[in-house]
Amino acid sequence: MDSAGLRELLTFYADAGVDEPLLDEAADRFEETRIEAEKRAARREPVRQKTVVPPQSRPAVPKAAVPDDAQAARARELAGSADSLEALRELLSGFDGCNLKTTAKNTVFADGNPQASVMFVGEAPGRDEDLQGLPFVGRSGKLLDRMLASIGLDRTSAYISNVIPWRPPGNRDPSPLETEICRPFIERHIELVAPKVLVTLGNPSTKLLLNTQTGIMRMRGNWAAHKTPSGRAIPTMPTLHPAYLLRNPAHKKLAWNDFLAIRLKLDEAGGSGAPVS
């Protein structure tokens, strides 16, 4: 392939979100799968009849030790000990218990005004956020800025963060364990900011912060309450994620309704959204 063709292919990959190689050498997965299948076939033994062992005579299986459980406990301990946002930011930056940190370039803590009346929480940083160390600065961030502006807000009158502070490699979904390890930090983050109104952007942050399995399409547009670790209830509006709206622009009208409800709530709460003095 000539250099123009190669450039075109790389541009195609970049547009599709493939922006990092995970191996130094190309791997032929089709060939690997074929060899594996051949090996399995060569090993195949005649199928034996299974003997059913009654439960009471089965040997006790020791519970597997999951070291990540310890990391989740450590995260809870650290996050709970932070008595200010600065302390929390420092503790999070120094925390090595989540493997996402090893591939991320930056810890993405927050952007905007921590004294604002309203806090927005997304899922996880993407490539642009990882490079700049700030949440929502890429394409979906630009849309979020326009959505904020539509109700008279900007990053001086709103505060923005994510459930996960490190970019998952290749923008994959964070695993449940990774989310569990990061959970205490975002919960303490919200508690320390103590916004009058919380907005969850998309499914993952809605499910985590509202402790629900109900999908965003049913949750959005309805006020709910986020319970802080110390038991305070914060009025919370789940709404559609800007990245989803970029893919489904016809649903922007739903998000617009949600944003009008947020504006109304802020007005009722006596906050323009601007810092509470």
Point out which residues bind ligand URA (CB under 6 A): 122-126, 129, 135-136, 138, 140-141, 162, 243
Q: What gap in Å lies between CA 255 and CA 32, rounded to an integer?
A: 46
In the bound state with ligand URA, the residue whose beta carbon lies nearer, of 187 and 271, is 187
In the bound state with ligand URA, the residue whose beta carbon lies nearer, of 129 and 180, is 129
In the bound state with ligand URA, the residue whose beta carbon lies nearer, of 14 and 35, is 14
Cα 131 to the center of its chain, rounded Å: 17
Query: How many CB atoms within 10 Å of residue 49?
Result: 5
In the bound state with ligand URA, the residue whose beta carbon lies nearer, of 190 and 271, is 190
- For β-strands 197-201 and 118-122, DSSP reports them as parallel
Cα dihedral sign for 254, 152, 194, 133?
A: positive
In the bound state with ligand URA, the residue whose beta carbon lies nearer, of 114 and 135, is 135
CB of 68 to ligand URA, least distance (A): 23
In the bound state with ligand URA, the residue whose beta carbon lies nearer, of 73 and 246, is 246
CB of 244 to ligand URA, least distance (A): 10
CB of 162 to ligand URA, least distance (A): 5
CB of 80 to ligand URA, least distance (A): 25
CB of 124 to ligand URA, least distance (A): 6
Q: What gap in Å lies between CA 133 and CA 105, rounded to an integer?
A: 8
Q: Which residue is nearest to ligand URA (CB)?
A: 122
Q: What gap in Å lies between CA 30 and CA 65, rounded to an integer?
A: 34
Q: What gap in Å lies between CA 125 and CA 167, rounded to an integer?
A: 5
In the bound state with ligand URA, the residue whose beta carbon lies nearer, of 157 and 162, is 162
CB of 160 to ligand URA, least distance (A): 8
CB of 67 to ligand URA, least distance (A): 27
Q: Each residue of 96-126: b (16+ CB within 10 Å) or e?
A: ebbbbbeebebbbbbbbbbebbbbbbbbbbb
Q: Check if the beta carbon of residue 201 is closer than 8 Å to that of residue 258.
A: no
Classify residue 57 as exposed, middle or buried by CB count within 10 Å of its CB (0-12, 13-18, 19+): exposed
